[in-house]
Amino acid sequence: MQLLRPPAVRPGDVVAVAALSGGLDADEAEIATAGIAALESLGFTVRTAPLVELGRGNWWSAGTPREIAADLNALLADREVRAIFALTGGRTTFSYLDLVDLDAVRSDPKPLLGFSDITALQLALHAKTGLVTVHSDLVTHGLGYWHELEDDRRDALAAALLAVLDGTAPHALPTSGSWETWRSGTADGPLVGGLLNRLVKLQATPFALPPERFDGAILFWEDVSASTSSVWNDLHVLRLGGHLDRIAGMIVGPTSTIEETDGGPDLRAVVLDVLGDREIPVLGNVEIGHNPPNLPLPLGIRARLDSSAPSLTLLEPAVVS
């Protein structure tokens, strides 16, 4: 399946904020407002979907699976909306993957941005339609903290996000002092990944990424509230599925969100243990996932990883002009 690149998204366009998993809780209302303000500061006209309503919800979700799918499908069919930003993460997306209007995605592709539980939706759409989705900040946990960043860092992240959405290529993503070389080397390949536990679960469903999507890929992943032993097991699931034999490089998210199992090794040692003698570059402790702000990583887009420099450069546009 070929990539389905959405049209470019530029300042002045309408973008939607949607509750695609968890709802708007009282303790997130302030950062949701700040996140919407951040989108407006980028020049976008922001529209909020109906389920983005304080106190509204169903169990641990913004609504029932049918309600969330209906909200999403309405946005997918709305020709005025040019991108969809996830409000927050949660525990819901698997419940409505089979209710998403894939024909609407193909008819009017638009970027879907977020991380955490949103990974399952992003990867499923990528698997079924080839849509280039973007693993990036949530409106709450991510964009909602942009106003607290140093000006230089905020400007760099804003430029990187706008470059992904308007199709600037190639361009290097902003580095930081946290990046660690876990195995040196370089690799060029399409980006694939997200929240590790969602990726592994998705591979057991009809929405799994075909094995060939991992051929020559740069696999990026992160996890949260997980132990090194659970990460070790999830990586072995990917190994047993043959996925690690196909990839050309690996990017690992923040080490601070993973808890070391008593008496066990740190995350770096766990990753290198599972990789064994696979001589691929590995870059660790990168800003992807649950220690925002996030670098924007478009799924399916070719990138160049140099874990020794270290650097990460997007080699082709994520959208069409």
Task: Check: CB of residue 124 under 8 Å from CB of residue 260.
Answer: no
Name, in order, each residue with C-beta under 8 angstroms of 284's C-beta and a sequence gap of 6 or more: 179, 180, 181, 182, 251, 252, 255, 267, 268, 271
d(CA 202, CA 206): 8
For the question of residue 212 being annotated catalytic, the response is: no
d(CA 288, CA 223): 10
Task: Check: CB of residue 6 under 8 Å from CB of residue 109.
Answer: yes
Query: Looking at 21, 61, 116, 136, which residue is catalytic?
Result: 116
Q: How far is CA 204 from CA 76, 207, 237, 241, in A?
A: 26, 8, 11, 11
Say how many Å lie between the first and final Cα of the chain, rounded.
Answer: 21
For the question of residue 290 being annotated catalytic, the response is: yes
d(CA 36, CA 144): 8
Query: Looking at 61, 222, 243, 307, which residue is catalytic?
Result: 222
d(CA 232, CA 265): 10
Query: Looking at 21, 243, 290, 307, which residue is catalytic?
Result: 290
For the question of residue 222 being annotated catalytic, the response is: yes
Active site residues: 116, 222, 290
